[in-house]
Homo-oligomer: A and B are copies of this chain.
């Protein structure tokens, strides 16, 4: 049995590499998918595909079309979603993806630093489990296969 896991959340830190490496070292049969991690390309993908847009709002609208397309395809393939919140940025996409996972019946693990417990309390309560570190999330994944 292999699982597909969608890794939602910030793309400014290398947490996805860490999770993939640990899963590999534990030989967990997991395929990881997730959003475009090159932030500049993620913002530019609308113009990359459609050409120049009239202003920044329409540039963003164009980019979001292709980012949402990617997320929808990959999340529908996923058996489980991990959403990581960091200390910077608004991270509304992370909240959006995590909530979509729950609504679609996908199990959800939330990773967030303890300092964020208050603003994330309702989303945390909707998730299957809330942890503070990537390492704890890996332990939760490994537990499924034990």
A residues bordering B, Cβ < 8 Å? 1, 3-4, 31, 33, 36, 41, 45, 48-50, 54-58, 60-61, 63-74, 76-77, 79-80, 85, 89-93, 95-100, 102-105, 107, 109, 114, 117-126, 128-132, 136, 139-140, 143-144, 146
Contacts and interface: CB of A to CB of B under 8 A. Distances in A.
Contact of A146 (B36, B103, B131, B136): B36
A69 to B, nearest CB: 4
Contact of A68 (B76, B126, B130): B126
A103 to B, nearest CB: 3
Given A76-B79, A100-B102, A131 B61 contact: no
B64 A121 contact: yes
A54 B58 CA distance: 10
B73 A121 contact: no
A57 to B, nearest CB: 5
A63 B121 CA distance: 8
Given A31-B1, A58-B58, A100-B99, A64 B131 contact: no
B122 A49 contact: no
